[in-house]
Homo-oligomer: A and B are copies of this chain.
Amino acid sequence: MADNKKMVREITSMEDDFAQWYTDVVKKAELVDYSSVRGCMVIRPYGWAIWENIQKILDARFKATGHENVAMPLFIPESLLQKEKDHVEGFAPEVAWVTHGGSEELTERLCVRPTSETLFCEHYSHIIHSYRDLPKLYNQWCSVVRWEKTSRPFLRSVEFYWQEGHTMHETAEEAMEETERMLNLYADFCEHELAMPVIRGQKTDKEKFAGAQATYTIEAMMHDGKALQSGTSHYFGDGFARAFDITFTGRDNTLQYPHQTSWGMSTRLIGAIIMTHGDDNGLVLPPAVAPIQVVVIPVAQHKEGVLEKARELADRLSRFCRVKIDDSDNSAGWKYAEYEMKGVPLRLEIGPRDIEENQCVLVRRDNREKAFVSLDALEETIPRLLESVRQGLYDKALANREARTVTATTLEELVEKAGAQNCFIKTMWCGDEACELKLKEVAGVTSRCMPFAQEHLADTCVCCGRPAKTMIYWGKAY
């Protein structure tokens, strides 16, 4: 405990060193621990509880839209991975290979799944025979492994947790609708539950998923102006179906290939939450996924009746929110700092004077606003305050994004603006990969997405000056 007291206070300021601030928060809010396994982390109870809350909400939304959960094997035989040419080219360089079982060398090596399109396709080839078997709307919650050279907790790691939806449809139109439906579900989840505004759009061919015909994305802006790709949804057409020989008898009695999608969100979202809402006192959690929504702190808890009242309140609150009481013998000041570091949205303080006056103090984590609230009004006030916190977080994040979003119509302008600060740069683009490569080279930015909400900013490509095909966002990204 003595150690903790010191630790809690020492955190780098965001402005001094954003990367170090992030590492400090992740460690001191007790979200992860490092392990001796290269690139893999231990997700600690507080971090995992955030993920469980994310899972619960998303899983309910998936089920409400007709999806079912399944579990595919952890391993993919090399020959299976190789069936779809673009896919294997994209993933083979970054997979972990199992070559031995016990003391025996395997006749065919297995990779630890980096994603599971191939496994789903093999299964679908067994169970899809008729149009009556469609659509298949499957999802799985699991971890996947990609042999990254560098790693940062939640943002980039060899092993990470995610959900991967894989669906099969009778027609291209239905598959495309599903791709969009899930992207919109993701965007709605981010904006409403995580209080994180996102830009919806399509990835360029260069940035799309290996094997996909089209990849849609939601892009969020972090506090430091960098982008974080927060969820993707892919349309595959019938490419995998052909490679895996998945056919069905259609309504017209002809043999057809089904059309496929996949979509995923991962523990990166926790990184996004930290970097969108956090501040120099630590984590700031959106109420919907906060493991503790209200922490009850007894003040002068040695005085008669205080602990009893605090416990009674915690018990009462537990009926409508996630509450924790801290009745340890640490000082009230220490506790305030501790739960600020952990990003608990509301703090309820209750002391002898409050009890006399039938009130308590409620302090918001996001803006430190304090309110004296009658103990009779908690059932009404707390849900309202939690919603205010959510709205406050959203507004602040949106304001940051708007302040850091600029437009450029010439290469010089783009280079200058990209050099001035991390930001989203809106431009027109000809659609040519050469221009993407050039902007990366001269301005250090990558294409984020071609937004669904198109604007006409100019007639010509920001880079080459040829006629523009689309509006696009550029930025530096995690």
A40 to B72, CA, bound (A): 8
Q: Taking the nearest CB of chain B, how far is it from the CB of A160, in angstroms?
A: 10
CA–CA, A305 and B119, complex, Å: 44
Chain A stretch 86-106: residues in CB contact (< 8 A) with chain B: 92-103
Q: In whole Å, how far is A383's beta carbon from the nearest beta carbon of chain B?
A: 23
Is B147 touching A37 in the complex (CB atoms < 8 A)? no
List CB contacts (< 8 Å) of A68-100 with chain B. 68-77, 80, 92-100
Q: Interface with B: A8-16, A43-51, A441-449, which one?
A: A43-51
User: Chain B: which residue is nearest A67 at the CB level?
Assistant: B45
User: Which of A122-130, A190-198, A307-315, A396-404 interfaces with chain B?
Assistant: A122-130
Question: Is A21 an interface residue, CB under 8 A from the partner?
Answer: no
Is residue A17 contacting chain B, with contact meaning CB distance below 8 A?
Answer: no
Q: How many residues of A contact B (CB 8 A)?
A: 58
* A138:B74 contact, CB within 8 angstroms: no
A96 partner residues in chain B, CB cutoff 8 A? 75, 98, 100-101, 110
Is A334 an interface position by the 8 A CB rule?
no
Given A70-B45, A95-B102, A147-B101, A122:B75 Cβ within 8 A: no
Is A254 an interface residue, CB under 8 A from the partner? no
Asked if A453 is at the interface (CB within 8 A of a chain B CB), the reply is no
Given A129-B3, A147-B102, A159-B75, check contact A123 B35 (CB 8 Å): yes
- Complexed CA–CA distance, A195 and B138 (Å): 30
Assembly CA distance A226 to B147 (angstroms): 44
Within 8 A of B (CB), among A33-64: 33, 35-37, 40-45, 48-49, 51-52
B1 contacts A73, C-beta separation under 8 Å: no
For chain A, what secondary structure do more than half of its interface residues adopt (helix, strand, loop), or is it mixed?
Answer: mixed
Q: Are A97 and B100 in contact (CB under 8 A)?
A: yes
**A145 contacts the other chain (Cβ, under 8 Å)?**
yes
CB contact between A35 and one of B103, B122, B138 (< 8 Å): that residue: B122
Most buried by B among A36, A40, A71: A71
Q: Closest residue to A137 on the B side, CB-wise? A: B45
Question: Does A132 reach chain B (CB closer than 8 Å)?
Answer: yes
CB contacts (< 8 Å) of A44 on chain B: these are 70
Residues of B with C-beta under 8 A to A126: 33
Q: In the complex, which residues of chain B have a beta carbon less than 8 angstroms from the beta carbon of A122?
A: 35-36
Complex interface: chain B residues within 8 A of A123 (CB): 33, 35, 42
- Interface residue A112 (Cβ < 8 Å from any Cβ of B): yes
Look across to chain B and name the residue whose beta carbon is closest to the beta carbon of A129: B3
Using A33-B123, A35-B123, A119-B35 as known contacts, say yes or no to A74 and B42 having CB atoms under 8 A apart: no
Assess whether A74 is in contact with B35, with CB atoms less than 8 Å apart. Answer: no
Q: Mark A115-144, 1 if CB is under 8 A from B, else 0.
A: 000010011001101101000001000110
> B-contacting residues of A (Cβ < 8 Å)?
1, 3, 33, 35-37, 40-45, 48-49, 51-52, 68-77, 80, 92-103, 109-110, 112, 119, 122-123, 126-127, 129-130, 132, 138, 142-143, 145, 147, 158-159, 161
Q: A43-B70, A74-B145, A95-B102 are in contact. List 20 more A-B contacts (CB 8 A).
A: A1-B130, A33-B123, A35-B119, A35-B123, A36-B80, A36-B122, A42-B70, A42-B73, A43-B71, A45-B69, A48-B69, A49-B68, A71-B143, A71-B161, A74-B112, A93-B103, A96-B98, A96-B100, A97-B98, A98-B99
